[in-house]
Amino acid sequence: MSQYDVIIIGAGPGGYVSAIRCAQLGLKTAVVEARDTLGGTCLNVGCIPSKALLHATHSLHEAQHNFADMGLKGKAPSVDWKQMKEYKSNVVGQNTGGIEFLFKKNKIDWLKGYGTIEAAGKVKVGDTTYETKNIVIASGSVPSALPGVEVENDKGIVVDSTGALDLPKVPKKMVVIGAGVIGLELGSVYARLGSEVTVVEYMDAVCPGMDADVQRSFKRILEKQGLSFIMGAAVQGVEATKTKAKVKYQPKAGGDEEVLDADVVLVATGRKPFVEGLGLDTVGVKLTERGQIATDAHWATNVPGIYAIGDVIEGPMLAHKAEDEGMAVAEVIAGKHGHVNYGVIPGVVYTTPEVATVGATEADLKKEGRKVKTGKFMFMGNARAKAVHQAEGGFVKIITDAETDRVLGAAIIGPAAGDMIHEICVAMEFGASAQDIALTCHAHPTYSEAVREAALACGDGPIHS
């Protein structure tokens, strides 16, 4: 008889959420995790520590730039980097400890070590092989390598996001390779700490794939905050010494190779599924051309009894997408109907201002030949945003079907955008129209009024512009 109904490999947001839901559904569940703490990349070296540093450095920015204006006088605080990292570690500890508590509460076993699948129904951890009816692979992702660039986090000169969260000191000059989510969030952190930050990006716009209006405003706002950008430039290699590095890049428009000096180089050029050591070859689990585990609509791989979710399969590498899949696959395994609506998965960049998007972009819909209407409202017309020095340059944009007024997507750049986007997510889940949002009473004064105004802009027009 199997020891477990489900063994989940990986305790990140996909794996731990799936485990809790499996346990709630009455399945005997274990999670294999090699890290000393639960929570995976997100809690240990991703979403959570970066948010702690973003909060701390945003507070510093407020003290330096906005306190005097609000009548708060006195010297701006100086940075105790060691203490800031300590605070970050405490935030991480509270969260990872919280997952451990939830595991105990739900009677989930933590099998400590790396898991290898020996066959369907058999997972080896250390010297022990455990038997299980189902296996869920939730092993996540790792930073992808850039040819000609060797990341050595322990040396603190050429680092990935993990190394950038734990630099020994704040660098004078930082070069960030890649203007994606990681590059811009961590680039913001160090710019606020006083580093001279230059972002080198291959594409012509930041955050490739995002709404073009947002891309333009976002870059402009970040430039005002002191970040410099070199766009349309492909990094060819990095030469590092013990204390410095040289970043070589080739402008796409042509011309000679250029070189940038840096004290620290952050490589943020994407992540790849982490499948090494899982034994997929042995059991014959198929991968896609891009190295992801191939799954069907119910997260089942080609091998019966083996499922996969999160960063290791297709789709955006986002903690909340993994969580949703984790819950859904648990339902499927328990014989219920798990479902994820991939059309309504928000994406958020936690800079100041925040950037949040959901659904289709205007450009994509137009490419498909769909007739769309857009309603846009600038935060300059929002009383609350003005009170917190975040009105400039931000906006809410809602995209609807031109005939039915149904909401198809939205983009927000402004204060608390990452929270406000959910009003639009719920509207989309219910197939709401922009008019439905516009007719809903919104409290005053809130940032969310800008969402209502953008919805009004899809109809007869907003009030405050």
Q: Tell me, yes or no, if 298 is annotated catalytic.
A: no
Stretch of 79-87, 218-226, 268-276, 362-370 lying at the interface with ligand NAI (CB under 6 A): 268-276
Rule CB under 6 A: choose which of 178, 326, 359, 415 binds ligand NAI: 178
Helices (H) and strands (E) in the chain, counts: 14, 22
Name the minimum Å distance from CB 200 to ligand NAI: 5
Q: Which two tokens stand for residue 419?
A: 């929270």
* Interaction pattern, residues 211-250, with ligand NAI; x per rule: CB under 6 A: -----------------------xx---------------
State yes or no: residue 269 binds ligand NAI (CB under 6 A): yes
The 8-class DSSP code of residue 464 comes to -
Q: What is the DSSP string of 234-287?
A: EEEEEEE-SS-EEEEEEETT-S--EEEEESEEEE-S-EEE--TTS-HHHHT--B
Name the minimum Å distance from CB 140 to ligand NAI: 10
Sign for the pseudo-dihedral over CA of 40, 45, 49, 50: negative
187-216: contacts with ligand NAI (CB under 6 A):
200-203, 208
Strand-pair partners of 229? 199
270 vs 279 by CB, closer to ligand NAI: 270
State yes or no: residue 459 binds ligand NAI (CB under 6 A): no
160 vs 449 by CB, closer to ligand NAI: 160
Strand-pair partners of 294? none
Smallest CA-to-CA distance from 47 within 284, 322, 297, 288 is with 322
Name the minimum Å distance from CB 37 to ligand NAI: 19
The distance of Cα 456 from the centroid of its chain, to the nearest Å, equals 30
Stretch of 113-121, 171-179, 298-306, 398-406 lying at the interface with ligand NAI (CB under 6 A): 171-179
State yes or no: residue 462 binds ligand NAI (CB under 6 A): no
Torsion-angle region of 92 (φ positive above 0: left; ψ -120 to 50: alpha; else: beta): alpha
Is residue 208 a contact partner of residue 172, using CB atoms and an 8 Å limit? no
Name the minimum Å distance from CB 206 to ligand NAI: 7
Active site residues: 444
Residues that bind ligand NAI (CB under 6 A): 146, 177-183, 185, 200-203, 208, 234-235, 268-271, 316-318, 348-350
